[in-house]
Amino acid sequence: MDGEQFNEWKDQMTQQAMNAESLTDLQAARHQWLGRRGTITGAMKGLSSLPIEKRKVVGRQLNELREYALDLFKRCEENMELQAETSRLQAETFDMTLPGLWPQTGLLHPVTRTRRLVEDVFLRMGFSLEYGPEIEDEWYNFEALNIPANHPARDMQDSFFIDLPERVLRTHTSPVQIRAMQRYNRALPVRILAPGRVFRRDDDATHVPMFFQVEGLVIDHGISLADLKGTLQTMAHELLGDDIKTRFRPSYFPFTEPSMEMDVTCAACRGEGCRVCKGTGWVEILGSGMVHPQVLRNGGYDPHRVSGFAFGLGIERLAMRIFGIDDLRLLYQNDMEFLSQFQSYTGRPGL
Ligand code: DAH
């Protein structure tokens, strides 16, 4: 082994490294020189058989050659990687004008939105929100509202009883009237709105076992039927539009006297008469009346000094009306495709 031999090797490996066409070629060449059985490695092993003087010289030259090889292959490898990256980037197209991907956002359920619309109307009229328990004492749900044990109204509202005879899933939000009166403790005016879930043993195209109601109650000195009509007409116009008409029909509820139901003009035919309204041009949206003296008394108020009106309406019916939905059950199937239709449309501009 001498300098000439080393120069030859150097040329050889340089040629190989420069001509390598792939990373695999390059690694094979590197292995051929620097691998465990490689030429340089072999030559280093052979050093021990040389006489000491020669060993020093050849050893130094070999070390230099090894350094050279390490550096050569490293740089060629880096070069090759850089080239690969560059051609990959050149081949890649990137269109800055493509629209981004929109994340899917959630939205409020039509029933929630309708409840909030109703709350908003009444909050602006000076009402405050009141809540009661969903599991209710029979006394609050029935007796205090003038519905005694043998009263036919108890059959009208087929109830879910929790423990007989004491507790029941409330069948309406009306018991919150009594709880509110107790909480106000004879203070005036009482002007509350009580939204919440109610439960009945019902399940068909127009009834579900759990639904939402909003209860309203106003008590003060000299509250009259005119206050009731004015308040509820205002609500109807706010929610359904100024061109809507309302009418009040005599009705019966044990907790009001007199009692009336409010109808609004049918949305499907605009009052002309159609299948939806059974040809009458009107659909019922709520029950109401002047609070029965006994109910006032049950809440701690003196019917000789104060009077009040109350009303109760179903939120789903109103939601169907506002959003133009024709089957109550669609509201509770949690079909995202169906529900997401109501992202911006409320059936009324500005809402
Ligand atoms: N509680 C009645 C129901 O569930 C609705 C109702 C009617 C509430 C008349 C009232 C009212 O406050 O005055 O059908």
Q: Which atom of ligand 1 is nearest to the CA of 217?
A: 12
Model pLDDT, residue 268: 78
Say what the pLDDT of residue 156 is: 56
Residue 120, C-beta contacts closer than 8 angstroms, at least 6 positions apart: none
Using CA atoms, how far apart are residues 45 and 61, in angstroms rounded to an integer?
14
Nearest residue (CA) to ligand 1, atom 3: 172
Closest protein CA for atom 8 of ligand 1: 312
Closest CA to 33 of 52, 48, 50, 20: 20
Q: Give yes or no for residue 142 CB within 6 A of ligand 1.
A: no
Q: Which residue has the higher pLDDT, 275 or 226?
A: 226
* Mean pLDDT for all residues in the chain: 90
Range with the poorest average pLDDT among 2-11, 222-231, 342-351: 342-351
Going from the Cα of 256 to the center of ligand 1, the distance in angstroms, rounded, reads: 9
| Mean local confidence (pLDDT), 98-107 | 83
Residue 335 neighbours by CB distance under 10 Å: 11
In the predicted model, what is the mean pLDDT of residues 250-269?
94
pLDDT tens-digit profile of 300-350? 999 999 999 999 999 999 998 888 888 888 999 989 889 888 865 444 444
Mean pLDDT, residues 7-15 taken together: 92
- C-beta separation of 61 from 69 below 8 A: no
